[in-house]
Structure 1
């Protein structure tokens, strides 16, 4: 355990971490990959180029310093990170390597007294043990459950369906023909691969986009493109992976999922953020008991994934759908709107005081929707969300 003096030292370093956090984490990654280039096969190197990973890590390091005497505040973040680490295959022996690089970066950037380095070394060791123990529990749980496994498992692509001009669904069955792990709708799997010509082994996490069916998994992947190189794997999946090819997958993981409850559910998604919501929607429809409100935003009807299913369940006894198209709706209907998602238009239809709200989509969209929910006085404990990529908070 940390002494009160050590806690005070770490907390007192929080302002410096807020100011120089990205300098520290940027240097940390340089040190880490120079000393241990093999770790570049685990970390998402595209996020390194864009800077999103160092920003996310800086936020996490600052949060630890700020709440070192009240770690319950960041337990949600710890669980989110542990779940992602498990899908990546992080091992206990990686933690000392990361800790050494982080302490060296703090020392180089801040040049603090030795007492600060010593306090952070002890604090990091305690936090590392939390992650190691939680991740080991996840590995054990997954390997011991029916259909589970350790590490990665080979799956064959048995079908490939274009949902929109940018989103394609991939249907995957295990090569060994045995059972597969159950999952809670909202969770993801990691695809482990090294495309021809790629410098590093690549790992990407994709939400499972259908209800569990015991035989196969479905992921629906958006073909990404950006100046920083996002889209290396999504483009490879779209353009080069064909029916009959083999992919290596992790078990399903993730702390964002449909809660067990009888409360009404409001699913709100934008663009490819529809993927975990689709798994939730299919599960809820097959269960047939909970009141469901499905709200989705897309560029237009052509870019509305799973549109046919949504049209078929419109205004059923259980499910009500509301679709927002940024461009004019090609198929005008009572439940279609033009523009961005606007919950003010729906407030008389939504059970604001009793529902659980699930959000997924572009960060700007989720921040806007979260602000609307707070204006409508929805409690934070009833709002659940998933951010694709390096995590960011909605309340900023």
Structure 2
């Protein structure tokens, strides 16, 4: 890429800041019109609520802002690469996306989209595509090299459904071929896909693995979400809860994700979750307990009430198993029989715990809805915790940039 082309890309930054979502909305509409088969690859729920358009707009803006040195985006690129591998995105998809993205830039900018600008973006996009496909090739190779590993979609049998609370049910997934499953890093997720007759589409969704690696099966724990009136949001979770029965077969992609426990450390860890956000943290905790780790662990969890609080009893078992675990539970509302030590009324407030949660040299793993993550991140940094010690996972397309 020439210096002149880099300057052209940087000159589009103000436009992307102001009209980025309009551009990406036009792009997705265009792409799905010309290549409707890609609706089977993309989460149409996130298309409907605008999250995917916003996420892509932020990614394009960040790339334009750092076109001089894209290496500063390595963390974001890695996260996207893991997501693409979990969806079986292949190099040929990049050609389709690039064609429609360049066409959308021309159609949205109109006369402002000079031949030189389109050429600059074509070079920039190819540079990014080469970077992404190189990363993803490595991730695919790692996945298939593992014992029990694979790429693409593999049939799994739902051997067990276990209700964990009024909203959350666990699904125990075993390979239909009777083989082993690849190990994963605590905190990672898998993708599964189901056919939705309402949309006449296959739809993929990512779910965190909620147990430690075991070599034989995967466990996901799914919250029932509202989804009605043709809105794809919640359709997969509802179908898992209501229609998918024990013994049925679903398609699963191999584990992926970079929100992972650093298993090489011996320093304390603090897990902070809201609602179903506890699932990847539960995998991390089970791993620590199962490996007889002597790391000090603090578990902080918040949810609406006792009825929707999943894994209360398993957590008590893990507390017994791991002598260094201390837990703090926040409920929006408390029943009279819940006035006990370690249980608090209201939303998660780490300031209430103070030194009980602020441990020297600790790493903080935070997961939950975006507003929850943002609050915990701000509270932790305000209390002197360095941003580098705070790790977070946002379910769905990335929209948070915290530093």
1:321 is aligned to 2:327:
yes
The residue aligned with 1:363 is: 370
1:345 pairs with one of 352, 360, 370: 352
- What's the CA shift for 1:313? 4.6
Deviations 1:222-270 (A, max 9, x none): 1111574410100000000011000110000001110131111000000
Q: TM-score under structure 2 normalisation?
A: 0.95
> Are the counterparts in 1 of residues 286 and 318 from structure 2 also a CA contact under 8 Å?
no
TM-score by length of 1: 0.97
State whether residues 370 and 394 of structure 1, in contact with CA within 8 Å, keep that contact through their aligned partners in structure 2. Answer: no
Matched, 1:263 2:267: yes
Shift of 1:373: 0.4
Q: Within the alignment, does 1:301 sit opposite 2:271 as a pair?
A: no
Please give the per-residue CA displacement for 1:175-229, whole angstroms capped at 9, x wherever unaligned.
Answer: 1111110001110000022134432111001000001111110000011115744
Corresponding position of 2:236: 233
Runs of 4+ in 1 over 6 A off after TM superposition: none
Q: How many residues align?
A: 395
Question: After superposition, where does 1:75-154 map in structure 2 within 5 Å?
Answer: 75-111=74-110, 112-154=113-155
Which residue is equivalent to 1:177?
Answer: 178
RMSD: 1.4
Aligned to 1:44: 43
State the alpha-carbon separation in 1 of the partners of residues 315 and 342 from structure 2.
Answer: 11
In structure 2, how many angstroms separate the alpha carbons of the residues matched to 1:195 and 1:31? 23
Partner of 1:10: 9
Q: 2:246 aligns with which of 243, 247, 260?
A: 243
Q: Where do 1:53-72 residues align within 5 Å?
A: 53-72=52-71
Structure 2 gap ranges (5+): none
In the alignment, does 2:276 pair up with 1:272?
A: yes
Give distance in 2, aligned partners of 1:216 and 1:277: 18
Query: Is contact 2:274–2:367 with CA below 8 Å preserved after alignment?
Result: yes
Separation (CA, whole Å) in 2 of partners of 1:382 and 1:182 = 26
Work out whether residues 188 and 260 of structure 2, in 8 Å CA contact, stay in contact via their aligned partners in 1. Answer: yes
Q: Which residue of 1 aligns with 2:161?
A: 160
Q: How far 1:168 moved relative to its partner?
A: 0.4
- Cα deviation per residue 1:21-78 (whole Å; 9 max; x = unaligned)? 0111011011111111111110111111111110110000000000111212211110
Shift of 1:314: 4.7
Q: Which runs of 5+ in 1 are unaligned?
A: none
**SS in structure 1 at match of 2:140:** helix
What is the CA–CA distance in structure 1 between the aligned matches of 2:63 and 2:187, rounded to whole Å?
27
Say whether the 8 Å CA contact 1:353–1:378 is kept in structure 2: no
Which piece of structure 1 moves more, 48-57 or 313-322? 313-322
**1:224 aligned onto 2:229:** no
The residue number in structure 2 matching 1:28 is: 27
